[in-house]
Amino acid sequence: MLTIGLTHYLVLSAIVFTIGLYGALSKRNAVVILMSIELMFNAVNIAFVAVSRFLPPTAGSPPINLSGQVFALFVITVAAAEASVALAIILAIYRARKTVSIDDLNLMKW
């Protein structure tokens, strides 16, 4: 318990991911869903970086395998792009329908 290992970080990541998932599935406000998705992204980032930190390194100059950190960086980038586009969409929907409650957005119903 005292020695923090990979398992701790991964459990933390799982907890945060689950909370974010629950929020993404069960909230009505689209912005809140977006925020929950950000939670999930960050949880995943924790997992990546933790794995990169704790895995035995490949042969080569960096003493640890940095692929995880690279990937986390890219996740941040893409998340930023995605958040901006998503919020733009939400704004557009709000302008068209005066609501961001996803319960009301069921035009694709059969």
Site for other proteins in 48-67 (CB under 8 A): 49-50, 52-56, 61-64, 66
Residue 44 binds other proteins (CB under 8 A): no
Smallest gap from Cβ 19 to other proteins, in A, equals 4
Phi, psi (degrees; rounded to nearest 5) at 29: -85, 130
CA 76, CA 29: separation in Å to the nearest integer?
23
Q: Which of residues 66-105 bind other proteins (CB under 8 A)?
A: 66, 69-70, 72-74, 76-85, 87-92, 94-95, 98-103, 105
> How many Cβ atoms from other residues are within 10 Å of residue 98's Cβ?
8
Smallest gap from Cβ 89 to other proteins, in A, equals 6
Return the half-sphere exposure (C-beta side, CA atoms, 13 A cut-off) of residue 51: 13
Smallest gap from Cβ 101 to other proteins, in A, equals 8
Structure tokens given for 59: 């042969």
